Structure 1
Amino acid sequence: MTLYHRLPDTAHADHSRDQMTDAAPPDYRDSVFLPRTEFAMRGDLPKREPAMLARWAAEDLDGRLARAGEGETPFLLHDGPPYANGHLHIGHALNKIMKDVVNRAQRMAGHDVRYVPGWDCHGLPIEWRIEEEYRKAKRDKDAVPVLQFRAECRAYAQKWVDIQSAEFQRLGVQGDWAGRYATFDFESEAAIAAEIGRFLLDGSLYRGLRPVMWSPVEKTALAEAEIEYHDITSTTIFVGFPVLTPGRFEGAQVAIWTTTPWTIPANRALAYGPEIAYVLAEVVSVGEGAHVAPGTRLIVAADLLDSVGAAIHVTQWRVLERFSGSELAGVVAAHPGRGRGFEFDVPLLAGDFVTTEAGTGLVHMAPAHGEDDFRLTTAHGIAVPEVVLGDGSYAAWVPHFAGIHVFKAADPVCDFLIETQRAGQGGLLGRGSVLHSYPHSWRSRAPVIFRATPQWFIPMEGDTRLRERALTALEDVRFVPAQSRNRLTSMVRDRPDWCISRQRAWGVPIAVFVEKKTGEVLRDAEVMGRIVETFRKEGADAWYARPASDFLGNRYDPEAYEQVFDIVDVWFESGSTHAFVLGDGAWRNQGLGWPADLYLEGSDQHRGWFQSSLLEGVGTRGRAPFKALLTNGFVLDEQGRKMSKSLGNVTAPAEVIDRFGADVLRLWVMNADTYEDVRIGPKLLDQTADLYRRLRNTLRWLLGALDGFSEAEIVPYEMLPELERFVLHRLTELDAMVRHAIDSHEWVGVLPAIHQFCTTDLSAFYFDVRKDSLYCDALDDPRRRACRTVLDITQRALTLWLAPTLVFTADEAWTARFGDAQSVHLQRLPVIPDTWHDAPLAARWAKVRSMRRVATTQIEALRADKTIGSSLQAALGLSVPEEASAESVSFAEARSIDWAELAIVSTATVTPGPLSATVERASGDKCARCWRVLDEVGQNAEHAPLCLRCSDVVNLA
């Protein structure tokens, strides 16, 4: 069928020929070579795409792709597993589409790409959902047998693996969906247990008491990657600890400031800075609301005396003494609650972490509730008390506060300290509040605390030198964008020992035994081998279903050993996936290479999956399991806000697909600067849909203009006109950009460059200029053949470059020309010879296009004032300097150019002089076939309505 293509409106384009059949005499209608194609103008993607997916499945396109890659150099992008606990959100779509573009481009570059999608199916995200159902049904989770609970978690995860798999495939993501991996598969659970065993057997797994992020709501330790920060208002207090040591400071109070009043019952020491200047100051007078009385002597950092005074309502100080922090060595204070149940000394210890940025310049130490606190106090032999239980309440033995939840403890603690201060034992000096960023669990959205509990750790220091080895391994990793290297290296450099244990039920257990008598963990390769083999056959449920003797064997008495039921952190699980997806020893023996060529995830994974994979790989195999890391930003709404249901600003992938189709969503991803946070919303999607239509129209026009093209028309490069060679030069530039993106994984800017080429170089310039030749020249005219030669090359290249992103549209365009048996996804990248790159030619045509704009500006002015209608009613006079300049080519060069065709006018003359253009109405009559206004129209009596060129073409027909 005949379709008339309308290009996008541009300031200097004249598209009237596309409707010429409305006015052309019937005798000449069929003599115009208008575009013909079955590639529809409307994408209708929501309806077309599912049908294409079904066709690809029927044709076994995935199998054909796998077979086509056999023997090629492999490229492996290892999939970071999303949690199987809900429908896909827009961040999932962004990340998975980026991965798919990378994989498809690598395949078209000639690599064997075998992409195995995966899922994280254990841990708190899924367990929390099951517990929510229990709470709704008023069921007691602790009364449910553990195997039944684990079975419910498994069924829930399986449901969402199936749903998310279908949703990812609807996005057009290609992969081994039938061979997907999931951490709850028996083979996966066995492999994870084996990876734990590697650390166990080399001596780098230990159980120790350390402060960790603890969720009182979820009653488990959390990883840093499971934490998000929200602003909250906390009560702040200044507290005085009375000095016991005889001498110059005796009777004075050491002033501290804290934003966590609930940690005061856990205090066991105070920290000072040895190099900080301090004062012993006496309170002379106080204002209204003061809790401290005149005559009270306080030890405070000299630089903070005024700010402390203002905060605790002291109106006048008397500085009794100035001294350095080192002079506080050996000083011992008392807890303000001394005599009321807190009967222990509070030594002052030197701490290099103490500063004078805020507070008093002295820090109270609660060993169970802070990293610095724990390190400093335990280094001095101070025991770590258990003050707070797993649910966040004070233990029964804590005087005055037993059973109170720590998040409700501010008032009781303050009331207690007011009483002690009144009794002259130190206590509350002042109270206030502060708005600050505080850690929360990203699942329950509830605040967390630091809490020391017995946990299983992998050390960063010591004999394994894991931190040092990990930092060395990162030196060989490529980071995209490059600046993301600093983020990961700093996190590895500063992180504490890796806490891998969680106090939950759904996951792979830390399947080890501890000797009750000695507290030593059992390190026996045979026992670990039995555990792994049993898990491979029966899954990790066997740890709960079988007696300990089945794993310990005959050499060990089960009664002498504690069986550990903590589960492993899900970040350890996901960090271990390289062990059972990649490598010759991988599960199902897929034989994929190790390490992976690329990991691609969001920027939050520098503290999550990137880091856990790095530590796991280095700890077990001596190097990172990836050669390169590509990071994408987060997705925000159009105003730059985080998406939330309460704001009503959530954009769901399914909604976008239902309205626009997956290709538009894919285009939104690849048109964005994904190195930064990206935005999405109705307006941006409408803009992306417009961009898509322009790309689709470009493909459609190319297909229509190539109707009936054959190799017999091809013109050798050496015989092509300059304009055609300029277009081929532009193809070399885009080809270099695409290939650089494939090699470097730096895709930002590639799709915008392709779009600009389509709209600026093709639609608004080359297509417009050559339409007259394509539609009206004779079929064998050299100029028309040259144009069709370049259009053939351009159509192939453009479709292939777009194929990784516009997976449905590109395949539709390819099969529209070459048939259903020729899926674009089975093709290789176009071969664009380097010899087509011609920088001098490109520079010359940049000047020509600039000169063209001078002419078209004048033409548009005449069209605006109705002097002419179509630009073909105009005659152009162009004045060009004798010598070339930065703005123009020389007069001699300009004379060789067909300015009538270039400016889309009927006639043009070039004269020497300053660069300028004049436009007037063309003389003569309008050709009924090409619509040019020429004096020669009517000179051929046989075809009086035609110009001589059109008369010749009609005669040839």
Structure 2
Amino acid sequence: MSEQRDYRDTVFLPKTDLPMKAGLPQKEPKILARWQEENLYEELRESRKDREKFILHDGPPYANGDMHIGHALNRILKDMVVRSQTLLGKDAPFVPGWDCHGLPIEWKVEEQFRKKKRDKNAIPASEFRAECRAYAQKWVDVQREQLKRLGLMADFDNPYLTMQFESEATIVAELMKFAEAGNLYRGSKPVMWSPVEETALAEAEVEYEDITSTQIDVAFEIVESPIEELVGAHAVIWTTTPWTIPVNQAIAFSPDAEYTLFEVRVAQKFLKPEEWNDAEWKVHGRYLTAKDLNGTMFGRMPSELSGTSEPKIIWKGKGSDLAGTVARHPMHHLGGFYAKPRPLLAGDFVTTDSGTGLVHMSPDHGEDDFLLCREHGIEPVFAVMGDGRYRDDWEWLGGSDDRRRAVINKAFNAPDGPICSDLREAGALLSASDDYQHSYPHSWRSKAKVIYRCTPQWFVPMDKDLGDTSQSVRPEPVEGPHFTSDVAQEEKDGASTSSARTVEGKTLRQIAMREIERVKFYPEKGRRRIGSMVEGRPDWVLSRQRAWGVPITLFVRSDGTYLQDPAVNARVVEAVREQGVDAWDESRKAEYLGTDHDPNEFEMVTDILDVWFDSGCTHAFTLEGDRWPEQRWPADLYLEGSDQHRGWFQSSLLESSATRGRAPYDAVLTHGFTMASDGKKMSKSLGNTIDPLKVMEQYGADIIRLWALSVDFTEDHRIGDEILKGVGDQYRRLRNTFRYLLGALDGFVGDMGDAGEIPELEVYILALLADLDGKLKKALEEYDFNTYTRLLVDFCNEDLSAFYFDIRKDTLYCDGPDSTRRNAYRTVLDLLFHALVRYAAPVLVFTAEEVWTTRYPEGGSVHLLDWPPVPGVTADGARWDALRALRERVTEAIEPLRRDKTIRSSLEADVVVPASAVPEGFSDEDLAELFITASVTRGQSDTVTVSRTDENKCGRCWRLLPSVEEDGALCDRCEPVVAQLDAAE
């Protein structure tokens, strides 16, 4: 045999400068710096000028602390929306924002002052607010740089902040719209109150944690009743908040439930010697409870009663029979407040699921209690102060306990604490144990327990006509769609039950409910979630008793009414625009009131606005006005976590419905929460948190982005080291797809020529691309980003790398430079490149830019491009599906021969396939090329058989073909190509 020539220099191997190793942590900051230097955001705005607008309004994160993984997910989703809408050809400006007022910041600044041994109350208000402003600005700047690192495309040089003077002025102006229309009132109602922070809280500021509480059964002696048997007996109430007994004013019963009066008798052997008598039993007491609960109440009584006889029924009847019954408070001997009778009142909210079926009423500390007692002329007494202690002048326990926040103090409520001890001494405590486990509200800032506390607050009524200036307190039922609040039902998918209906009426609740029906929700269950909340929510509490926030800029008369003068309001708004919240100062009272009003007739309100009102107004100062002219009102989309159905989505809806008659958004997209890889909630104490800043240092921002856009973010989802490693593998496969495309297109110019010359495989791939294009657009329409990302990844991995590239690499490497087939292949690769780099750009923002500039160094940014034009090609998909299925069978049949080294490559295999499995139109030569084998023939068997071929191997393309005379010689395809190349040299 003559010496064989080395043909490697005649093979057209791919060449690219894109490295296989991404090095994202080092490369991404450089790309980001270039974008900032070139002011890419402004360039993008200019390129999209006069296009159709798409407005995603940013929900303001809190300016407090480093970005966490939840922030990262939220911002990546928002960036995906903005970039994908931009890619679709729209003008999608994005103004990031921050929430800067409120208790978390005030709390941190107080801590700083305490470290300096300075009492907050001794610090001038303007100095304290200046520190709060500086603290918030510090974290705005920190978070802004962290968000930039994620690759966000946003107007970071001009964000909106709720503490900007212009923003504060707009918030005041929005409040004045409520005031001038008479849609504010000051009333005393129970609200969520934090004794630690000494302020009212919104529901969105409360989280629920499992705790163990003291449960007690307390006997109230019945002193008057139309039922003779009840007089002298005891109505038994059960509660897990012993501290509310000192403010009890009534007892509620269910009018429809069955109640029994039963007698408890104790065996003589369990009595003290001095209590012995000739009877075998001694009556312990007669007790009134719901029929179905007397056994459980009896079971909670002390162990010495375990020797009692079966309780003897004295009376039974309906709850409605109890009307007119009156009891007295166990501490009636103290006189004063406790000497007043405690009526038994019918309450529809009373259930017989637990307790005793009788509920003690404290109108100061419960919404149901408040409303039922008010119906019967019983008013709150305001016994508990803001710090959680009873007033010093209160008859029972007032001023006698020096523990602050006594009402939430565990020892104060314990079975041996002062309340239980006094009730026991009065003979009214039937049982007390500290083993009751239940869920209880806590402040999400201080983590301390909260209480319902009746205090004077400012409210927006939910159920009065917005044009009516009367200031009602009691919510009334509203007609319209009803949304179940059942948790299991919330999790079910499905359309709204009343999507075709509209809600008539002019109340805030009715308008909001109508808008909930109109707005699109992604996922649909969000409609039911926010609908059930708005349908049943109480009046909106606006006031907070703190320092750092937008003031409630009202002038109040001695009779409780407030001034409704547009001229005065305008002066206040303008002052806040110039000076910020410090403008609301007693020293300027006369200036604001002007000559038309006597300053001595008014007091300035010192409360501040709930921060949810601040954030509910962000649409007003961001989407309207002149500061961001590229914006427009209303927004196309709001996007936040599912907890914002209770928070920002709702406060924005209510604020805008009251002032503009509609929601400030047309669609709402919600995401779930990120859990640890084992499904547990992330917690610093558990040490299972994932820091996005560290992930970017280790893997790069594109890896976090790929993770965020790969999970089903509409549900709770997971992240962890193993998950991120899997995402990294997915990323490498995508990167290798682009490396192959760049390498295969090295030096490419021209096109495939006559359309009639396009090989059928290329037609099929273009048809798959067209199908992918349509599916990707549909996914973007529905904000279904995990489907978008999965379709893109699967197409690159399964249709391209594992199929098309695998088959055509021989053509790319070995066909001649003028080969029609090779030129057609590279033309399709060019179409694929331009499509895929755009499809990937919103997901892998840095990698797509690197890929694009590798091929087009002077081609600008990939993020300035529009959605790619894709040929509208179709193919017989079923026919190709059948062929690909047969190809998989062939691959599986070859694998055992590869494992035992009978063959080293599929090119060495002669394959026989079932004739019945071959789709029409494919020759045996086509099959051999598509299956990458030496030959394919058809047989009558239903199985695929494989053997090693006897043909010789081409020295250039390595195919084993009949035209190769000996191993190392050239096949009839390679011989003319080599000759052409040799001649050219």
Instruction: Tell me the TM-score normalised to structure 2 length.
Output: 0.90
Which of 959, 964, 969 is the matching residue for 1:932?
959
Contact 1:717 1:725 in 2 (8 A): no
1:492 matched to which residue of 2? 534
Which of 383, 389, 393 is the matching residue for 1:393?
389
Which of 185, 195, 198 is the matching residue for 2:174?
195
Which of 948, 951, 970 is the matching residue for 1:946?
970
1:299 matched to which residue of 2? 288
Q: Does 1:308 align with 2:297?
A: yes
1:215 matched to which residue of 2? 194
Change (3 A) 1:370 1:769: same
Paired residues for 1:154-165 under 5 Å: 154-165=133-144
Whole-angstrom distance in 2 between the partners of 1:422 and 1:765 = 85
Change (3 A) 1:45 1:293: farther
2:408 matched to which residue of 1? 407
Which of 582, 598, 605 is the matching residue for 2:644?
605
Whole-angstrom distance in 1 between the partners of 2:425 and 2:449 = 33
Which of 568, 583, 590 is the matching residue for 1:527?
568
Q: Does 1:726 align with 2:764?
A: yes
Whole-angstrom distance in 2 between the partners of 1:366 and 1:662 = 54
How far is the alpha carbon of 1:178 from its aligned partner? 1.4
Whole-angstrom distance in 1 between the partners of 2:964 and 2:70 = 62
Paired residues for 1:10-49 under 5 Å: 27-49=6-28
How far is the alpha carbon of 1:281 from its aligned partner? 0.9
How far is the alpha carbon of 1:60 from its aligned partner? 2.1
Whole-angstrom distance in 1 between the partners of 2:321 and 2:417 = 30
Q: Does 1:346 align with 2:381?
A: no
CA displacement 1:682-730 (0-9 Å, x = unmatched): 11111111111111001110111111111x2324555422222222222
Kindly provide the amino acid, as one letter, of the partner of residue 599 in structure 2: P
Kindly provide the amino acid, as one letter, of the partner of residue 152 in structure 1: E
Whole-angstrom distance in 2 between the partners of 1:804 and 1:343 = 71
Change (3 A) 1:333 1:715: farther
Contact 1:922 1:934 in 2 (8 A): no
Change (3 A) 1:237 1:199: same
2:579 matched to which residue of 1? 538
Paired residues for 1:784-863 under 5 Å: 784-833=822-871, 835-838=872-875, 841-863=876-898
Contact 1:235 1:433 in 2 (8 A): yes
Contact 1:262 1:413 in 2 (8 A): no
Whole-angstrom distance in 2 between the partners of 1:152 and 1:216 = 24
Contact 1:664 1:692 in 2 (8 A): yes
Query: Root-mean-square deviation (CA), in Å?
Result: 2.0
Q: Does 1:772 align with 2:772?
A: no
Whole-angstrom distance in 1 between the partners of 2:387 and 2:596 = 39
Whole-angstrom distance in 2 between the partners of 1:198 and 1:436 = 42
CA displacement 1:749-795 (0-9 Å, x = unmatched): 21112111111111111111111011101122122122112111111
5+ residue gaps, structure 2: 273-280, 467-506
Change (3 A) 1:79 1:589: closer
Whole-angstrom distance in 2 between the partners of 1:705 and 1:657 = 31
Change (3 A) 1:896 1:858: closer
Kindly provide the amino acid, as one letter, of the partner of residue 396 in structure 1: D
Kindly provide the amino acid, as one letter, of the partner of residue 113 in structure 1: A
Whole-angstrom distance in 2 between the partners of 1:461 and 1:416 = 39
Kindly provide the amino acid, as one letter, of the partner of residue 400 in structure 1: W
Kindly provide the amino acid, as one letter, of the partner of residue 681 in structure 1: G
Paired residues for 1:259-298 under 5 Å: 259-285=240-266, 294-298=283-287
Instruction: State the identity as a percent.
Output: 50
2:332 alignment partner, SS class: coil
Q: Does 1:479 align with 2:553?
A: no
Aligned residues: 914
2:950 matched to which residue of 1? 923
Q: Does 1:914 align with 2:941?
A: yes
Whole-angstrom distance in 2 between the partners of 1:855 and 1:589 = 61
Contact 1:877 1:909 in 2 (8 A): yes
Contact 1:187 1:587 in 2 (8 A): no
Q: Does 1:686 align with 2:722?
A: no
Whole-angstrom distance in 2 between the partners of 1:493 and 1:937 = 81
Kindly provide the amino acid, as one letter, of the partner of residue 816 in structure 2: A
2:330 matched to which residue of 1? 336
Whole-angstrom distance in 2 between the partners of 1:608 and 1:111 = 30
CA displacement 1:432-466 (0-9 Å, x = unmatched): 53111110111111111110110111011112311
1:621 matched to which residue of 2? 660
2:315 matched to which residue of 1? 321
Kindly provide the amino acid, as one letter, of the partner of residue 831 in structure 1: P
Kindly provide the amino acid, as one letter, of the partner of residue 878 in structure 2: A
Whole-angstrom distance in 1 between the partners of 2:458 and 2:173 = 16
CA displacement 1:236-265 (0-9 Å, x = unmatched): 001111111153311111111111010000
How far is the alpha carbon of 1:30 from its aligned partner? 2.1
How far is the alpha carbon of 1:285 from its aligned partner? 2.9
2:950 alignment partner, SS class: coil
1:551 matched to which residue of 2? 592
Whole-angstrom distance in 1 between the partners of 2:685 and 2:114 = 23
Whole-angstrom distance in 2 between the partners of 1:288 and 1:572 = 62
Change (3 A) 1:26 1:64: farther
Contact 2:96 2:154 in 1 (8 A): yes
Kindly provide the amino acid, as one letter, of the partner of residue 545 in structure 2: Q
How far is the alpha carbon of 1:748 from its aligned partner? 2.8
Paired residues for 1:19-98 under 5 Å: 27-98=6-77
Whole-angstrom distance in 2 between the partners of 1:718 and 1:131 = 78
Change (3 A) 1:512 1:422: closer
Larger mean Cα displacement after TM superposition, 746-755 or 67-76 = 746-755
Q: Does 1:644 align with 2:683?
A: yes
1:474 alignment partner, SS class: helix
5+ residue gaps, structure 1: 1-23, 882-887
Contact 1:581 1:590 in 2 (8 A): no
Whole-angstrom distance in 1 between the partners of 2:538 and 2:183 = 14
1:251 matched to which residue of 2? 232
How far is the alpha carbon of 1:670 from its aligned partner? 0.3
Whole-angstrom distance in 2 between the partners of 1:266 and 1:717 = 88
Contact 2:66 2:143 in 1 (8 A): yes
1:98 alignment partner, SS class: helix
Contact 1:877 1:919 in 2 (8 A): yes
Kindly provide the amino acid, as one letter, of the partner of residue 497 in structure 1: D
1:916 alignment partner, SS class: coil
How far is the alpha carbon of 1:912 from its aligned partner? 4.3
2:122 matched to which residue of 1? 143
Change (3 A) 1:716 1:745: farther
Whole-angstrom distance in 1 between the partners of 2:554 and 2:325 = 45
